Structure 1
Amino acid sequence: MSRPTTEATLPFEVALASYDPVLGLEVHVELGTQTKMFCGCAAVFGGEPNAQVCPVCLGLPGALPVVNEKAVESAIRIGLALDCRIASWCRFARKNYFYPDMPKNFQTSQYDEPIAFGGHLDVELEDGSTYRVEIERAHMEEDTGKSSHVGGATGRIHGATHSLVDYNRAGIPLIEIVTKPMTGAGERAPEIARAYVATLRDLLKALGVSDVKMEQGSMRCDVNLSLMPKGSTTFGTRTETKNVNSLRSVERAVRYEIGRQAAILAAGGTIIQETRHWHEDTGVTTSGREKSDADDYRYFPEPDLVPVAPSAEYVEALRATLPEPPAARRRRLQAQWGYSDLEMRDVVNAALVDLIEQTVGAGASAAGARKWWSGEIARRANDAGSDVPTLAASIGVGPAEVVELESLVTGGRLNDSMARAVWEGVLAGEGTPTVVADARGLQLVQDSGALEAAVDRVIEANPEVAQKIRDGKAQAAGALIGQVMKELKGQADAAAARELILAKLA
């Protein structure tokens, strides 16, 4: 397979010494409605190609659209959560362009009258500081179909022998959230871009308006970036890197475009206003097409749809449905659970907040919930290229299993190493923790006489270590505890063994 040609780039630090980045992000979110934006076709992912279509979403003559009420409700709730103003009256418009992924040859969108506008989202960065991202608008539109280019080496249209189009996605309700240009970010521009998309994703998930699965395309980010010379206040020519579909890629795309554009400008060249493709495997962008301006799309009001005019009472009723903001929720849970900042950050990055909250609610300790969900199962999820909640659901493991496992430890049946072995059995599908422990014969020795006899044998076999303990070096007991565990095949209570050893020698 041929690789995209890598353009010259300046090192990130060198680029920022001469230029200030101007960043703008457009995030497209597929809404989790049961039907499409303007028709009754199912809005689900993964169906047979062109099985979820009808005359409306195929743009056949005489077919008239009807607005999806649930999509409008979701759009208003998103706008409110972003502290936007909600329009009391707005219209849809036709965005005209000729592409095979839109059979009508226009996209029904909103142009100069968005449903929500003028908001902001505060983003927490790695060092604990906050950056406010100003929101220009959030507007409703429909998604396009999906083109697959066949026969070429790269999966792009260039070099392909033919193309296939699946219109199942055409007409899926979309919200496009557009930021105002972000200036002054400097070297933190890539970090801010990633943090903004991550924060927005958490917010949308909390609202329950989308599954925000970037890997499936239900949340996608277009990265707009330009550079202006240090000291200038005039924005440079921007490029738009389309459909970046992971948090890591958003950060990498910003960083790459800064270096690429800086190299062109430093060499006396000019930036072309264009869309660009992001290549996940190589971490570069390549040219797509020259970017159109609004005039090129010949926007005009959609004649087949009535305006959307939500009443103030309706908007306030929806405001009352907003959940606790994710950042506030995380701070509250961190305080309840007693996690350090580093522990909480790891939990958030591993998408474990919901799972741990459910597990603690089911009766586990906060420390135990974090321990078991961020241990072996997290390693397996990482190896599988998944996350813990997804993997846990696929193998049928949930909060109840963690609660049961912890109770076997606190109840004195299992020690930590035995519990780890049981957990591995649970993850392998061998049954509940109790079933696995029974099947493997895992049980701490309860016979105090057997434990004392093992301690006596170990003390007798290790006189030098025993003498150190008699001399006041209690930490030396660890060596004897290990020997006792070996004597009893790992089924001794380490705490009881330590207590007995010190009682005999101290």
Structure 2
Amino acid sequence: MTQQQQSTTEQLQAGRPTGPLVQGYEVVIGFETHAQLSTASKIFSRASTAFGAEPNTQACAVDLALPGTLPVMNKGAVERAIKLGLALGSTIAPRSVFARKNYFYPDLPKGYQISQFEIPVVQGGSVSFFVGDEPKTVRLVRAHLEEDAGKSLHEDFVGQSGIDLNRAGTPLLEIVTEPDMRSTAEAVAYARELHKIVTWIGICDGNMQEGSFRCDANVSVRRPGDKLGTRREIKNLNSFKFMQQAIDYEIRWQIEEIEDGRTVQQATVLFDPDTGETRAMRTKEDAADYRYFPDPDLPPLAIAADWIERVRAEMPELPRAMAERYVREHGLSDYDAAQLTQSPALAAYFQGAVAAGANAKLASNWITGEIARRLNQQDIAITEAPVTARQLAGLVARIGDGTISNNAARQVFDALWTGEGLEVDAIIEAKGLKQMSDSGALEKIIDQVLATNEKNIAEYRAGKDKAFNALVGQVMKASQGKANPAQVNALLKSKLG
């Protein structure tokens, strides 16, 4: 445990607030995330994990728990757990154990779920990210392998429910955090960062609508100085938007309960997107309620050091390492580098622009600024951007060499984005956007402006900087925005003494 982590733990136990307060209460949030592993077959059988098949067509004898069947561990699932551990700086247990988690529900044919309890495969680690431009680190408790249950279907049946066991046995990694988050913004930023990591290293497709990445948020509130409050677990949050709404509502609900003199009861709750409210589903169980015991059908999982090293050698460059390289090689800020490594495709776009000759800082500004704004506005991915990395490099080059001003660059970018079919230089020529950099021509315009703005000249010489800006504005207006601003500033200051 680092000194920072130990300090956070001591503050938490002592009841000292470690984040902003909401209506005088401290919010404490922890996460349990189920990431469906990207194997072609299930964790203990050869049945397919493909999404969208007809109900119960991908459930084999092992998944159905028919008599005499035995589970066989999927090596690919273990390798994906190793990848996650390496990506998060966790300890990968050389020996871990599978357990039976006993509960009874219609979509659980065996009457128990095979999971890990006392000795998980991945232990410790952390996830670092930005909330706005503020860095934040959330500690992890563990990540353990387990099988998914089936699914109860209610909407297609009148007065009845159906059971689809296609998901039964699908491999999952359950990733559990310490209660380190102190706001909804931190919780959503953590979930986004974890989603980025599992998709980046290829262990999960991250499809939240299909249930491949599901988050459970444990939320509690307390007065500063009090012991930890009673937590309620919001289950199966499958979009970042709903996650924010659900946690915000739960925080307000718990504070209102306490303020009205009632006691918050530990419970598992569901979020209803239609009403924007959470509702209790069942009383929250504790570990003892599940009667965990080692699964007699599965031997301990042994992971040799050379296996870990083989997986490490196949890992892609991780987003955090890539961001650190961008800071080191291109002089970017930590925040900008983190934004550029939100996905492999975005990083590839940036790298493509730099490889084509773009100034890294200018390219970063355009990608995280105007390009990101338009992608969000049109709800498209960077791979669908109408402006290619090579075209962005051409635009940045013309800004850098003074051919066009920043205002003109926006006009060129508009033309590129709307697909006018011309390259950067052709657009500049066709629209007459080339910046005026001829000193003689600029001096004539400046002399004309000075001749008709004696008041601003006097105010500038009296120490009023705004008067100088007004003169610059007059020159830019007279040149129809084509004058080189740096040259205008230099010439004006020279003439004004």
TM-score, normalised to structure 1, is 0.72
Residue of structure 1 aligned with 2:145, choices 140, 149, 164: 140
Write the mapping of 1:309-348 to structure 2, written as runs, cut at 5 A: 309-319=302-312, 326-327=319-320, 329-340=322-333
* Paired residues of 1:223 and 1:253 also in contact (CA < 8 A): no
Question: Which segment is superposed worse, 395-404 or 342-351?
Answer: 342-351
- How far apart are residue 247 of structure 1 and its match? 4.9
Give the 3 Å change call, closer, same or farther, for CA 358–142 of structure 1 in structure 2: farther
Alpha-carbon contact 1:484-1:497 (below 8 Å) kept: no
The residue number in structure 2 matching 1:481 is 476
Out of 94, 111, 122, which is 2:117 matched to? 111
- Following superposition of structure 1 onto structure 2, how do residues 435-446 of structure 1 map, counting pairs within 5 Å? 437=427, 441-444=430-433
Question: 1:141, CA displacement in angstroms?
Answer: 1.5
Contact 2:201 2:318 in 1 (8 A): no
Q: Sort the Cα spacing of 1:325 and 1:48 in 2 relative to 1 into closer, same or farther, 3 A.
A: closer
Q: 1:377 aligns with which of 350, 371, 376?
A: 371
Tell me, yes or no, if the aligned pair for 1:123 and 1:195 is still in contact at 8 Å. Answer: yes
Question: Counterparts of 1:15 and 1:88 in 2: how far apart (Å)?
Answer: 45
CA deviations 1:244-268 (Å, max 9, x no partner) are 2455655654454344334334544
Q: How does 1:68-467 map to 2 (within 5 A)?
A: 68-102=74-108, 106-121=112-127, 128=134, 131=137, 133=139, 135-147=140-152, 149-150=154-155, 169-181=167-179, 188-190=182-184, 192-214=186-208, 217-226=211-220, 233=227, 236-247=229-240, 250=243, 253-280=246-273, 283-302=276-295, 304-319=297-312, 326-327=319-320, 329-340=322-333, 355-384=349-378, 386=379, 390-395=380-385, 397-410=387-400, 415-431=405-421, 433-434=423-424, 437=427, 441-444=430-433, 464=452
Per-residue deviation, 1:364: 1.4
Letter in 1 for 2:306: E
Cα offsets for 1:194-249 (capped at 9, x unmatched): 4543443444344332343546543222122345676555x554321112245565
Q: Distance in 1 between matches of 2:62 and 2:396?
A: 53
- C-alpha spacing 1:286/1:459, structure 2 compared with 1 (3 Å): same
How many Å separate the matches in 1 of 2:45 and 2:240? 32
Report how far residue 306 of structure 1 moved.
Answer: 4.5
* SS of equivalent to 2:474: helix
Structure 2 contact 59–168 (Cα < 8 Å) conserved: no
Aligned position for 1:53: 58
Q: TM-score with structure 2 length normalisation?
A: 0.73
Displacement, 1:86? 2.7
Q: Match for 2:373: what amino acid?
A: R
| Residue 71 of structure 1: how far off its partner (Å) | 1.4
Distance 1:340 1:119, change over 3 A: closer
Letter in 2 for 1:406: V
Q: Aligned pair in 2 of structure 1 residues 410, 131: CA closer, same or farther (>3 Å)?
A: closer
Task: Encode CA deviations 1:382-427: one digit per residue, 9 max, x unaligned.
Answer: 334x3xxx53313464422312333455567655444433322333
Aligned equivalents of 1:192, 1:15: Cα separation in 2: 18
Contact 2:353–2:389 (CA under 8 A) maintained in structure 1: yes
Aligned residues: 468
Q: Deviations over 1:432-461 (max 9, x none)?
A: 6349739x9335569999x98899799779
Cα distance in 2, alignment partners of residues 317 and 144 from structure 1: 31
SS at match of 1:140: strand
Distance 1:454 1:41, change over 3 A: farther
Between 166-175 and 286-295, the greater mean CA deviation after superposition: 166-175
Percent of aligned pairs sharing the same letter: 35
Counterparts of 2:406 and 2:135, CA distance in 1:
38
Counterpart amino acid of residue 42 in structure 2: K
* Matched-pair contact (CA < 8 Å) for 2:97–2:301: yes
Q: Secondary structure at 1:243's aligned position in 2?
A: strand
Matches within 5 A, 1:7-86: 13-14=22-23, 16=25, 23-44=29-50, 47=52, 49-50=54-55, 53-55=58-60, 59=64, 61=66, 65-86=71-92
For 1:109 and 1:91, how far apart are their aligned partners in 2?
Answer: 9
**Which residue identity does 2:392 align to in structure 1?**
V
Structure 1: give runs of 5+ residues left out of the alignment: 1-10, 152-156
Cα distance in 2 for partners of 1:148, 1:363 equals: 55
Quick check: 1:56–1:65 contact (8 Å CA) kept in 2?
no
Task: Give ranges in structure 2 of 5+ residues lacking alignment.
Answer: 1-19, 462-466
Structure 1 residues 230, 377: CA separation in 2 closer, same or farther (over 3 Å shift)? closer
